[in-house]
Structure 1
Amino acid sequence: MSGIALVGSITILLKPAALDRLLLPFVSLAAGTLLGGALFHMVPEGSAALEPLLASVWLAAGFATFLGLELFLHWHHSHRSQRSRRQPVTYLILIGDAVHNFLGGLGIASTFLINPTAGITAWVAAAVHEVPQELGDFGILVRGGFPRRSALLWNLLSGLTFPLGGLVAYFTAQQFEVSGLVLFGAGNFIYIAASDLVPEIKTHQSFRAAATHFGFFGVGMALTLFLAMWNA
């Protein structure tokens, strides 16, 4: 699963001009998969074991925490040397993805310990979902100021929290109750998509660009919805 974070390496073969044309479609894809993953996967899963009000509190806490974190990052960014080109949203993406991967590692390893066949199925579904999301994350990091090789490295590091979560589940050999944390992560993803990514993809200058961005956004949402229906 961590290796999937390197899927963006295919873009190293592209010329800078070609990559520039693909960055906003990648960002659009990321917005769709982040929102779809939160709304179709994480919210239903996290809400199932909690009272509606408590579930809403966890979701709101995840949203509000990333709002506060981004406000701090913007303040910190504005007080640093102008030589730094990295935008605050890039750090939010890395943190949110690390939390998401850690929870995924916990859940899939716990499922595998109970039923290996179910664990393998869950891993395959998660891996299929990760490919478009990691491509989108890579596009956000590059557009936010990361060099391509640095973006790949940091994407990989955020992906390493997946086996970390799996190892924690394995060595404790128990099923984790992570409903609140799943909803907290969903709030993170909703904030990133709604506050940073959707406004970014609305900055178009032609109908064709708008249609392309909306199309990639729709593909991301559709993929996550299909996977949710397939796993139901």
Structure 2
Amino acid sequence: MSEILWIIVSGLLMSAIALTGSITLLLKKETLHKVMIPLVAFAAGCLIGGAFFHMIPAGLAYSGISLGFFVWIVLGFCSFFALEQLLHWQHCHRTGSDSKQPLGYMILAADALHNLLGGLAIGGTFLIDIKLGITAWLAAAAHEVPQELGDFAVLIHSGWSNRNALLFNLLSGLTFLAGSLMAYLFAEQIDVTFLLPLAAGNFLYIGASDLVPEVNKQDSDTNNWVYFIAFLVGILLMLLFKILFEL
């Protein structure tokens, strides 16, 4: 199979992983309500762990330690702060029936950027070596499954219907294919290394400034440790993937 076919097939399969969130639809409403906040905490752990264990190390490997690298992280953080303020403003001035919280849009934007970046990286890997590309794809897929479960929970928690959450999660996942095709079409003509720290800043903002406070708003004292453990599981899972796939 040619490089372009590997890139297209792997991109479509990665996009389909966005549908793993539908697993939560098999749960009863009462059960879903009980697991929702732990999943939000889990998503926060995945995002923060992904930033510290994946995006930042990869960016440093490409760019080296420099002030500019950390400036891009701060810009990524600030850009999503500005985007959220805009979404809050629009939300407050809507007169229609759209009750979706800005958090849902934020998670989709971050996921789309993450998938685009992953597509660029893995598409380029396929161009170097098919076997290496398959290995990189498997590592990315293992990283995506738990994150997509958490992302779907965040969308539902933000007021999205099940159907729209699945649809827009899938559309967000298709940016992985777009990134892979960009890598193939432009090959060595583009330098996207700045996107790594930019995405890390996005992840840190959403995880620490949106999702963690969302969990902290809960009043149930008995479940506080459950939420914290779910958060730690997300972080440790990202660390585990980092260790396993670098052996």
TM bracket (short chain): over 0.9
1:201 corresponds to which residue? Answer: 215
Question: Structure 2 matches for 1:35-46, cutoff 5 A?
Answer: 35-46=48-59
1:149 to 154, 163, 168: 163
Q: For 2:56 and 2:192, how far apart are their aligned partners in 1?
A: 12
| CA-based RMSD | 1.4
1:181 to 166, 184, 195: 195
Q: For 1:226 and 1:139, how far apart are their aligned partners in 2?
A: 23
- Structure 1 residue ranges without an equivalent (≥5): none
2:117 corresponds to which residue? Answer: 103
Distance 1:53 1:84, change over 3 A: same
2:72 corresponds to which residue? Answer: 58
AA matched with 1:6: L
AA matched with 1:181: L
Q: For 2:184 and 2:62, how far apart are their aligned partners in 1?
A: 22
What SS does the aligned partner of 1:57 have? helix
Q: Does 1:29 align with 2:47?
A: no
Q: Are the equivalent residues in 2 in contact too, given 1:46–1:178 (CA < 8 A)? A: no
Q: Deviations over 1:187-208 (max 9, x none)?
A: 0110001111001112233443
AA matched with 1:208: T
AA matched with 2:66: P
What SS does the aligned partner of 2:98 have? coil
Q: Deviations over 1:179-226 (max 9, x none)?
A: 211110110110001111001112233443111111111111011101
2:245 corresponds to which residue? Answer: 231
Q: Deviations over 1:65-124 (max 9, x none)?
A: 000010111111101126321001111111111011011001001011101111111111
Aligned length: 232
2:99 to 76, 85, 91: 85
What SS does the aligned partner of 2:160 have? coil
Q: For 2:75 and 2:220, how far apart are their aligned partners in 1?
A: 37
Q: For 2:132 and 2:192, how far apart are their aligned partners in 1?
A: 18
Q: For 1:200 and 1:215, how far apart are their aligned partners in 2?
A: 16
What SS does the aligned partner of 1:146 have? coil
- Structure 2 residue ranges without an equivalent (≥5): 1-13
What SS does the aligned partner of 1:10 have? helix
Question: Structure 2 matches for 1:112-131, cutoff 5 A?
Answer: 112-131=126-145
1:3 corresponds to which residue? Answer: 16
